[in-house]
Amino acid sequence: MTRPSAVFFDINETLLDMGPLKRGLAEVLEADDTLVDLWFANLLHHSLVDVASSQYHDFIQIGAATLQMVAHAKGIFVSRETALSTISKHITTLPSHSDVGPTLRWLQQNNVLIVALSNSSKAGLDAQLAYANIDHYFAHILSVESISSYKPHAEVYNWACERVGIENQKAMMVAAHGWDVSGAKAAGMQTTFVARPGKMMYPLGLSPDHHISTLGELKNVIAMKT
């Protein structure tokens, strides 16, 4: 494989620390933080239900609905208003992981085009990157809201590469989610999986081209392709 002309980054968990959001959600789930991962899995699941049923609701709307569902299953009542306000309050005020700034800076200094590609809404994504003070590194900030679909559907990756003006095989997707990596690989992109704590590749998914433990190791991946 040749050096990618652009590196596309997933945002939530890959670049941003979801800890503050998880703690905020636990507060409305009667301090049961084991339910937060279940909520996130439901959020991803029902985003694909929207795709399969030709609907589109933004990530916060789906997040609020699935938060109510998870709470209901455990006998906890959470109003739609509380669900929306809790998610909106915390998801746009997430810090970046400590290895993010140095890695993005290195990529920028080495003339690598940096692209954000997220399931978050455009307004939410802009707010997230600005709060984390990393927005200035990105040449393109792309939200699936623009095409009313969700990763890992192939049309998202195809659209993103076309939007940037790069052939799929010359673009690399970097994510801490096995489903995202597998979807990008199926669309013909180069892929790198970041093993954030508690994350592993989907064993039945398409294998990533690279598997790294920290984002800082991406420098070595790019350098060896130079």
Q: What is the mean pLDDT of residues 202-225?
A: 94
pLDDT of residue 226: 65
Tokens (6 digits) for 170: 């010359």
With tokens 């892929």, the residue in question is 191
**Domains (ranges, CATH) in the chain?**
6-17+94-223 (3.40.50.1000), 19-91 (1.10.150.240)
- Helices and strands (H and E) in the chain: how many: 9, 6
d(CA 207, CA 197): 19
Question: Is the pLDDT confidence value at 145 over 90?
Answer: yes
pLDDT of residue 225: 73
Beta strands in the chain (DSSP E): 6-9, 113-118, 140-143, 171-175, 190-194, 210-212
Indicate the pTM of the whole model. 0.95
Q: Do 215 and 194 form a contact (C-beta atoms < 8 A)? A: yes
Tens digits of residue pLDDT in 17-58: 999 999 999 999 998 888 988 999 999 999 999 999 999 999
The mean pLDDT of the chain is 95
Share of the chain above pLDDT 70, in %: 99
DSSP letters of 34-95?
A: HHHHHHHHHHHHHHHHHHHTT----HHHHHHHHHHHHHHHTT----HHHHHHHHHHHHTSPP
Structure confidence at residue 14 (pLDDT): 98
Task: DSSP letter for 115, please.
Answer: E
For the record, the structure tokens of 161 come out as: 């590469």
pLDDT at 1 over 90: no
Residue 179 has pLDDT above 90, yes or no: yes
Residue 3 has pLDDT above 80, yes or no: yes
DSSP assignment letter at 16: B
Please write the tens of the pLDDT for every residue from 109-137: 999 999 999 999 999 999 999 999 999 99
Instruction: Identify which of 128, 142, 162 has the alpha carbon closest to the alpha carbon of residue 60.
Output: 128
